[in-house]
A and B are shown apart, each in its own frame.
Chain A
């Protein structure tokens, strides 16, 4: 990894300070866990039984990921990518970025890398939120024991990695769109329509060809049949393939522009 890339990455990371995208990552990651905490506090009578269950962590994990996999994670990927890329458009700063002593490849990959790290940050914070949603009710409601079931950390980290991979095509597609269109509404609008399309295509046997379906399929693959047609193969490869395709096309279109900034 070149020193130029590291410095460009650092610079991009500094840009996200106090930006809407950085707030979105924190708020989005803790939203579902906060709801779970509130619901559990409201139904505190049932906590003792719930916390004594052998599959406590697995149930909590599934509960937490339902809204995240179907809605919040794809939306966070769409919004965070578009917001981060639009920082330059909104501040009229592309011309400044293009006059920095950096190669176009470095500029392109540094910003993309920051968005990917933000996605990791989002998932990590969500995991912290899930853990807190387990711990806080038993601290606040007397008589609720700490769950005795072992925490299946390895399984959860594997799931995290799969969700991360599932989001890669969304990020690459949104990055491509945000670099191409100055109007913020275009990438957001297309992203939202693609998400709705993915949702509608879940019961279609070829729904997996849509690159916005993978986080949903990843969640629904362990669910009873009927909620979605989950392909027999690992969609992670498709997600990776789409990511590479969108990144290459996005870079080609971006670097080939006659006017920069």
Chain B
């Protein structure tokens, strides 16, 4: 069961330039979906479309099995969101900011204290939000998103402005919400390590197109396609010797990078170079962590 689905979602700037093209998001119920992509990839535009902050031009959006167009208010009642910078009233205190929303969501007053406690802001007293640090504002924004205990949280770069300790706390909070309350969380970021530690599912977007979507494990399995790195005492000659057999071989990062190949073929390359008198210092598979995979996906067209 998917909590959130989009089909053929597309968006263009007034100039006609495509920002999103054929986005098919599938966010499983109860998952933490990491929405990854470099700056300007289309993450925020996608999230804004999901919340109705941008007028949809193309495609469909379904949340909780219902079309957003037809059931907007009903759907929004069960969504908490944080899009880009904090949306808070600086002249009010933290509890007063939440009280505005409590009135709309019609939730018990006690939930204000609960939300503030969850984000570690229960002791701010009568301090106005305008006097908060960016990190505190970010936490309060999360409290705003959590106040009505939504089924789905949509968070755009929620760790912006947080110190390392705050990032860890935020991660723990989101994980706990997901585990204890079954809250589905869509969290966008351009920082892979952050998503890697948090998400169960990942969607990678680049230049407005989805490059990957699936579980974190499935993403890790794409390592089979990782490149081979080679280090010799004469890279120029090695490249010449391999030019016929491995035409895609190239010099990079002080060594030679070969496209993905089988173990037998790697052994063959090694043997051939040694037979021709080229000393092989190092031979191995290129970095296969998620960052390398991510960079491979978004870097190929960059």
Contacts and interface: CB of A to CB of B under 8 A. Distances in A.
A260 B53 contact: yes
Interface string B75-118: 01101010111111111100010011101111000000000000
B92 A99 contact: no
Interface string A68-110: 0000000000000000000100111111101111110000000
A18 B92 contact: yes
A102 B73 contact: yes
Interface in B127-154: 144
B53 A98 contact: yes
B96 A91 contact: no
B87 A91 contact: yes
B86 A92 contact: yes
Contact of A96 (B54, B73, B87, B103): B87
A95 B73 contact: no
A8 B104 contact: yes
Contacts of B91: 17-19
A17 B96 CA distance: 9
Nearest to A256: B55
A259 B54 contact: yes
Given A99-B79, A101-B74, A11 B103 contact: yes
Contacts of A92: 85-87
A95 B74 contact: no
A197 interface: no
Interface in A202-216: none
Nearest to A258: B55
Interface range, A side: 20 to 34
Contacts of B53: 95, 98-99, 259-261
B246 to A, nearest CB: 50
A92 B89 CA distance: 8
B51 interface: yes
Contacts of A17: 91-92, 96
A148 interface: no
Contacts of A8: 104
A15 B89 contact: yes
B140 to A, nearest CB: 12
B87 A93 contact: yes
A39 B86 CA distance: 49
B51 A7 contact: no
B283 to A, nearest CB: 52
B247 interface: no
Contacts of B76: 99-101
A14 B54 contact: no
Contacts of B101: 11, 100
B185 to A, nearest CB: 16
B104 A100 contact: yes
Interface in B39-86: 48, 51-55, 73-74, 76-77, 79, 81, 83-86
Contacts of A98: 51-53
Given A11-B104, A92-B87, A102-B104, A258 B54 contact: yes
A261 B49 CA distance: 12
A259 B181 CA distance: 33
Nearest to A257: B55
Interface of B: 48, 51-55, 73-74, 76-77, 79, 81, 83-92, 96, 99-101, 103-106, 144
25 contacts: A11-B104, A14-B96, A14-B99, A18-B91, A19-B91, A90-B90, A92-B85, A93-B89, A94-B87, A95-B51, A95-B83, A95-B84, A99-B52, A99-B53, A99-B79, A100-B76, A100-B104, A101-B77, A101-B104, A102-B73, A103-B73, A259-B48, A260-B52, A261-B53, A261-B83
